[in-house]
Amino acid sequence: RKEVEQDPGPFNVPEGATVAFNCTYSNSASQSFFWYRQDCRKEPKLLMSVYSSGNEDGRFTAQLNRASQYISLLIRDSKLSDSATYLCVVIGGGGSNYKLTFGKGTLLTVNP
Amino acid sequence: DAMVIQNPRYQVTQFGKPVTLSCSQTLNHNVMYWYQQKSSQAPKLLFHYYDKDFNNEADTPDNFQSRRPNTSFCFLDIRSPGLGDAAMYLCATSSPGRMDGYTFGSGTRLTVV
């Protein structure tokens, strides 16, 4: 089982749609969780951290369920500029409390 | 602005010809990482330095080496690049316990011809 698994995608949605991405992680000792965004041929950039209580940043909402080892990202009112690959990232477990482990990413295309 | 700088942005090398990619940081972060990202795949950690301590991932080929002469600089050496080593190489830095998190460089895209 891969350490971090994501919806394979790709997702194609119209502007204004709501889209949800799911991610699971295998190491129950993992400590920190993030969603990164990566534009084509660019480096990953932090979108938001994910907390057990859930957190929201504008149109973006992230949730963590430690019992199920599940992370989600919800994007409301999609914009064309949201088109990118979304990477689920986990830190911790396996003897390290600072190494990032990436999911494969889910490609989102928002269409006019 | 404080940042992580990778040079060059694009690198073309010949099959089997040693190549070095560089990364520098002005953040004074303890940890520097090298990731390899192939097309449509997740970034894969090759190794990292925690200060001067080198940590190799178990599945990183021997063809890949790294040097960190000081806090600011870290180099990725590919001794004999093969066609399969063509990828984006990402440098990142962090300091565990600090709130500024991880910072990625813009990457070096390596082409092997």
d(CA B12, CA B39): 17
**Closest alpha carbon to B47 in B59, B29, B30:** B59
Strand spans (E) along A15-94? 19-25, 32-38, 45-50, 55-57, 60-65, 70-75, 84-93
Q: Do residues B21 and B105 lie in contact, with contact meaning Cβ atoms separated by under 8 Å?
A: no
| pLDDT (tens digit per residue) in B36-91 | 999 888 899 999 999 999 999 989 999 999 999 999 999 999 999 999 999 999 99
C-alpha dihedral (A28, A31, A32, A38), degrees to nearest 10: -50
CB contact (8 A) between residue B92 and residue A100: yes
Angstrom CA distances, A4 to A23, A70, A94, stand at 7, 10, 13
CB neighbourhood size of B43 (10 A): 30
- Structure tokens of A53? 């209580």
Q: What is the pLDDT of residue A93?
A: 60
CB contact (8 A) between residue B45 and residue A42: no
Q: B84 Cβ partners below 8 Å, 6+ apart?
A: none
| pLDDT (tens digit per residue) in B84-110 | 999 999 999 988 766 556 889 999 999
Q: What is the pLDDT of residue A96?
A: 64
C-alpha dihedral (A48, B45, B28, B88), degrees to nearest 10: -80
Residue A48: pLDDT over 60: yes
How many angstroms away from the CA of B25 is the closest CA of chain A? 15
CB contact (8 A) between residue A41 and residue B109: yes
How many angstroms away from the CA of A80 is the closest CA of chain B? 21
Q: Would strands B10-13 and B108-112 be described as parallel, antiparallel, or unpaired?
A: parallel
Of B31, B44, B104, which is closest to A43 when you measure between CB atoms? Answer: B104
CB contact, 8 Å: A45 with chain B?
A: yes
What are the chain B neighbours of A102 within 8 Å (beta carbons)? Answer: 42-44
Q: What is the pLDDT of residue A91?
A: 86
What are the chain A neighbours of B107 within 8 Å (beta carbons)? Answer: 42-43
CB contact (8 A) between residue B45 and residue A4: no
**Closest alpha carbon to A33 in A90, A72, A74, A73:** A90
DSSP-assigned letter for residue B96: T
CB contact, 8 Å: A41 with chain B?
A: yes
CB contact (8 A) between residue A105 and residue B104: no
Closest chain B residue to the Cα of A10, Cα to Cα: B40
Q: Do residues A36 and A91 lie in contact, with contact meaning Cβ atoms separated by under 8 Å?
A: no
CB pairs under 8 A between A and B: 40
Residue A94: pLDDT over 60: no
Q: What is the pLDDT of residue A100?
A: 84
